[in-house]
Structure 1
């Protein structure tokens, strides 16, 4: 700018004219830089808004699939079973109808919670009891199911237990609905530093790469929920070889924990 000022002064007939030309040049230069910076920052903000919108869409898709979709699926299944038992076993048909009604009520409550900030999601009180409730709702005489929950659930906060339940339930539901297994083994081990869950079935199996390319909501939801907690999901399967889903979630030390003195 100093060199430009000297050049302008040498070519100008008066100091006032030189000063005016230099000031005008500086103003135009500053205005150009401000516009460029403003456009760059505006693009940055638009990108941030877009990412936030995408994150929210994915969150809503997870909630609809895992909470609303599950309830509808259970209700549909139980109503179909009630129709099957309606003639041969009236008592069992009535039980299935009761489970269907409960699933519909829970789905309606979950929908209210999702659509109103005044009704936040109720924290999960017991991971083991929630999984047992799920198994009771999807009872299938053709499938032998084992469930083992080990460790102290108090080592994990409520959000971790809630997300772990949804991930494990989705893995088991996929096995029930798509694998045609005769056995499903579910296990959750909770240690002070980590929650590890596995769901294994002896069903028809599949190619994980093919499923990833298809972009199924269920598997994407499982991965997203786990990754948001800093964890990971691994899926091992092959056609005709069943499936093993492993979930690893690190646990933060609870504020009320104290080291021994």
Structure 2
């Protein structure tokens, strides 16, 4: 049985970060700076206008993926507006930082490969990035404004429901799987260390996107469904 450490609002933020470096991405997207000294999680959150309960929920959601199905988000205790802000910032990270960095590294790693291989791989990666961009653009321009309308006490678009989002919420991990398979099964040219590094980044990015989708599916959507239900009364 795996030993788990459950953090509380009284735990030191520095301890959490030193023991789980993946939480750096969480605090960066919530606008929490470094240099927190020996302050507790609650103290750091309050100093940066981050809801502590929402932060703690996201921390344990991130640390223990196998328990996600047992976690039930409550819009009464989770700051839904902060979740939306977090998701928007995550979109900027993927579209403006993570994927462009991988694209540049991929271009360098393929410099010694035959022209036809470079063209196929780079075109496939570009198509993948376009699919991710379209997916996130729909959320930024349609889904999140609808949710924000509900939070303001309105009904949002009368002809829209979060169910539409669930139907439109195409998973992009299949395209990522195909991209990785392109290297693993069909890349016959001699690979260099830079290419292996890019592959590592592709796998890591794929996991980050899966985690992002889980936050939308298991936190954001249930909260918006609850808001829809309460606004229709």
Normalised-by-shorter TM-score class: 0.3 to 0.5
Q: Which has the higher helix share?
A: 2
Task: From the CA coordinates, give the structure whose radius of gyration is larger.
Answer: 1
Q: TM-score, structure 1 length as denominator? A: 0.30
Q: TM-score, structure 2 length as denominator? A: 0.32
Higher relative contact order (CA 8 A, sep 6+): 2
Q: Which has the higher strand share?
A: 1
